[in-house]
A and B are shown apart, each in its own frame.
Chain A
Amino acid sequence: MVAVAEPQQAPPQVSQPGPQQGSRPIYRSKALIAGGIVLAWLVLWLVFRNVGTLSLDASALTPLHRWINSVNDAVGASRNSNPLFLYFFNEIRFVIDEFVTFVQALIAQPSFGRPVPVIGWLGVVAIAGFVSLVVAGWRVALLAVAGFVFLGLQGLWQESMDTLSLTLAAVVISLLFGIPLGVWAGLSDRAHRVITPVLDFMQTMPTFVYLAPLTLFFLIGPASATIATLIYAAPPAIRITAHAIRSVPHNTVEASESLGATWQQTLVKVLLPSARKTIVLGINQTIMAALSMVTIAALIDAPGLGKTVVKALQTLDVGTAFNAGLAIVVLAIVLDRVTTAATERRKLPRWAMFGGLGVTGVAVYLSYTYLWAAEFQSDVEIGSSIRQGATAVTEWVQDSLPVITGGFKDFVTLALINPLQALLAESPWFVVALVIVAFSFLIGGLRPAVVSAVCLGLLVATGLWQDSMITLASTLVATILVMVLGVVVGVWMGRSRRADRVIRPVLDAGQVMPAFVYLVPFLALFSASRFTAIIAAVVFAAPVAIKIIADGVRAVSPATVEAATALGSSSWQTIVKVQLPMARRALTLAANQGLIYVLSMVVVGGLVGAGALGYDVVAGFSQGQLYGKGLAAGVAIVVLGVMLDRLTQAAAKRWTN
């Protein structure tokens, strides 16, 4: 499963008219069979409604859940005597704690007996500018300097630096392990096969499930926060590194071997440098993933902007939360642009190199010595205006829109969510399971059908069948909305550079702005409901789908579009008959990624009325006796993710060949 967009491979444009025409009757008969299955399902639903739905009350537990609880308790009780804790986890914790604390001492926290960190704001801004200059060029360097100064003007300098320290630490550790693992998975098929499901698990298992146990293993503090972050953030680096190594052209490797290189030489001098560009993209994805964990890590006392957001929400202070969220977005955009630009080859003139080094050195020295350069103090405080502005906008939205939005919510709920949920959650479980397995078979053949069957079996085993089906219904609805948005906006962006330029930063913001920030106004617009959860998921997942589709549409060869235009196609015909069909691979990738991203919001949905698995996980995090159930719900989410991922991939394979 690829929860982070891997760089798309160039679609091999092989059109095979022969077999396609030949299989047309098969398609028709498949449609017929699918229709038959749905019809049978409807009938069975009418007859057996609410029989065998395997429902479980919110506070009820199964033996499995109790057993997990007892294991959890036993681990907790043995913490201070178990050698594994004393000699293994404690050592890891110690190293990571030291590392993070060191970075914080450098840029974020008062340290070494000084009232301020070693490097003050001026030094950090200079370093950020200089590093960006070296790896990414003038324009990005300017952006970086502006971005960092903006953080200070927001009145969030220290919080931002705490977040930056934690993020950097998590990213560095992720890469320390991730890149070698990725290289290994790139070189060995067996390693690849073993690692992939582990990465799937790491990326789809909701953080809430392992947050509390982490503090048991690694105590409350930087280590736990860092590890929570890197569990989620390391997989993209591993996957993309493996992918990069795999896509180094065979002939360069062969050329190196033909010259008598040892395999270490080939690795270091050919594979890694050739894969560098793609690996940097992996690092970029890892940074973004790490930043998206900032608020969640705050729930176990991780310092920084996340804390500000979480705190502000206790009093529903959207302004403050937004201000801090904006700082996260700014950090994300700066880091994203720097790493993206770092893939280009560039050489800085000598004078700029030395000049930059000199200026940076002086700035660091000043920020070490003088108070004005150490602590960000400014008469221009834009933080409060941002806060007030956001609060005003939120209030306006909350006052004037709910009449319309409430109706919209009711409509979608009645027309889409309820029927789907009724079918999935109110039919006997074996009927639903049979239908899903049959569909898997129709879509992908035997393998996907077996995978689905196993996954469904696991869902039953978690004891949370009905909750899983409710969550599945919402997930499907959200994915449909994501794809609708993805196609509309993606095509628009793919066809117009200007639209792309304007919309892209908004999408970036949608991806990294902590969901907690916009949940408050959403709750006002749509009340606590499944729909609110769906909309939150769409906000998070649509940007990915839109970007993938936009890139796919843009990649359609201009020659083809030109040919279509020359034949007199209208814009609409060009889109529908040329660009979309040719961007098929992008569409399926978007659907796949959309699904995975939607699933990763299930837990957030649980905070705003989605109920079902999301609520189970949240409740498990909050109440000891529900821990086992929460864990089971987390597993159910992973299982749903694996099933949907494999299914969409199988469908994609069928469809694009």
Chain B
Amino acid sequence: MDPVISVGNLWKVFGSNASQVVASDELKSLSRQELMDRTGAVAAVRGVDFDVAPGEMFVVMGLSGSGKSTLVRCLTRLVEPTAGTIMFEGEDILEADAKRLRDLRRNKFSMVFQHFGLLPHRTVADNVGYGLEIRGVPRAKRGERSQEVIDLVGLTGYEKSYPDQLSGGMQQRVGLARALAGDPDVLFFDEPFSALDPLIRRDMQSEVIRLHREVGKTMVFITHDLSEALKLGDRILIMRDGQVVQVGTGDELVGAPADDYVRDFVKDVPRSHVLTLKWIMRPPRPEDELDGPELPPETVVREAVRSVLSADKPVKVVRDGELLGVVADEEILGVVAGEA
């Protein structure tokens, strides 16, 4: 399948001399700090490549200042990239003129912000309908559609409230509804839940998962919270100082960290929740009895614990009838014990 978004060698440098920086290979090879000292420019995004598949939930993760927000804003050109390509459904977004860009923003993608960005002088319904309003959708239609998405995000009954009368979680639901109202192909989330407290955050994450399942949209989700990334992401991109460190599924990151940075990152993750049998199985040894129960390799360790420990023989990891390896008590215990 063709990717919805395809980003190639994307650069964003802040500073008056930005174009000089990206023109010079020497400057491009400097680290962020060195570049800052030499030229005063900040390289927020440095040569980033990745693809997002249709319907995928793609998560970008990194510490504060690693350039996530800048990256996601480049994708919609809220921030103008300095160099590189961004293909959206086969179209180079960087070529789009102001009008085309507006069309794209109105119809193809929308964004949910960390600080909500709601309009304080408008009611929930009017906030949600704002995107439709600026497209010129007639009032009655707007009302209908707003009501739909308001119901979808679970805000029924709050249509007439003002943002300052809602809790943080509810405000972000409004942000979500606003983004959904235009029925975009892609949704961008910039740390949408980091301003919320943990319980609400968990609620909202489930909400997004539910929406993702129900509406099946492509989503690009920014977070600095690894557990959030692991929970939501089909694939996760880890950024550091503006560069991509690793792209992969959650178990890939935990199972095969690309470097110490990632390893350090995933160190505290409850491995049994993330790792699948694929990562802990070993080739069968001669002494193994191979007539035990079978499990697919995608089974998460945590879910395999009971069956492995209760079986007196090693569990076979099988895909399409092919034996990939086996998992016995010691492998399982190795993962579980490592967490303690």
Contact = CB atoms under 8 A, between A and B. Distances in A.
A260 B113 contact: no
A270 interface: yes
A577 interface: no
Interface string B173-184: 001001000100
Contacts, number: 70
Contact of A260 (B104, B114, B115, B120): B104
A80 interface: no
Contacts of A249: 115, 117
B105 A258 contact: yes
B117 A255 contact: yes
A274 interface: yes
Interface string A262-282: 100100011001101000000
A196 B175 CA distance: 37
Give the interface size bracket for A toward B.
10 to 19
Contacts of B113: 251, 254-255, 258
A258 B102 contact: no
A562 B122 CA distance: 37
Interface string B97-115: 0000111111100110111
Contacts of A270: 119
Contact of A259 (B114, B122, B134): B134
B78 interface: yes
A269 B175 CA distance: 17
B131 interface: yes
Contacts of A5: none
Nearest to A253: B117
A195 interface: no
A254 B117 contact: yes
A258 B134 contact: no
B116 interface: yes
A256 B133 CA distance: 11
Given A257-B78, A258-B76, A251 B115 contact: yes
A260 B117 contact: no
Interface string B198-220: 00000000000000000000000
A618 to B, nearest CB: 48
A260 B78 contact: no
Contact of B134 (A251, A261, A273, A274): A261
Nearest to B133: A269
Interface in A217-270: 249, 251-252, 254-262, 265, 269-270
A259 B110 contact: yes
Contacts of A258: 76, 78, 105, 110-111, 113
A259 B105 contact: yes
Nearest to B126: A269
A345 interface: yes
Contacts of B116: 251, 255
Contacts of B285: none
A251 B135 contact: no
Contacts of B114: 251
B121 A274 contact: yes
A270 B121 CA distance: 9
B256 to A, nearest CB: 36
Interface of B: 76, 78, 101-107, 110-111, 113-122, 130-131, 133-135, 162, 175, 178, 182
17 contacts: A249-B115, A251-B114, A251-B115, A251-B117, A252-B119, A255-B118, A255-B175, A258-B110, A258-B111, A258-B113, A259-B110, A259-B178, A260-B102, A260-B107, A261-B134, A262-B102, A273-B121
Which 3 pairs from chain A and chain B are nearest by CB? A255-B117, A260-B105, A260-B106
